[in-house]
Amino acid sequence: MASAKRKKSVAADPSAFRSEALARALEKQDMAAVALALRNGNTVVPLLSPGPKDDPLDGGEVWTYRDPSTGQVALLLFSDARHKPGNLPPQVGVYSPAWLRAFLTQHRTAITTVFLDIAGPHPMQASPADLLAALDA
């Protein structure tokens, strides 16, 4: 899925990308704190391909997972690039709350679920509608 505008992307050192507030909220498994962190901070998103190097604000292509047996699409978000499993594309982007709201709104009929830190250490799952409600609260 092509993305809207994003803040940054990186392939070389993804470990520099982290949202401390989101990591703490996921550790507590506190949905209200997760909502607050998503409303007020950036989120790490895996990219299939980054935007052009000469235009750092141009959107890259966000990687989503499509279940081959059901066709359902999941968006994966991370509190820290180090939590992204190695089998995902190596590039990541750091996206704003406005981007997340716009992306979920644009793709709400295609995306069936959103996973936060799917590989741990404190994973959570939410529907796009629940995340949109949290972003708009």
Pairing of strands 73-77, 111-116: parallel
pLDDT in tens, 6-53: 444 444 444 468 899 999 999 999 989 999 999 999 899 999 887 666
* Domain limits, the chain: 42-52+60-136
Instruction: Decide: residue 57, CB within 10 A, 0-12 exposed, 13-18 middle, 19+ buried.
Output: exposed
* Confidence at 95, pLDDT banded by 50, 70, 90: confident
- Per-residue confidence (pLDDT) for residue 1, from 0 to 100: 58
CATH topology of domain 42-52+60-136: Trna Endonuclease; Chain: A, domain 1 (3.40.1350)
pLDDT digits 0-9 by tens, 45-89: 999 887 666 544 446 789 999 999 999 999 999 999 999 999 999
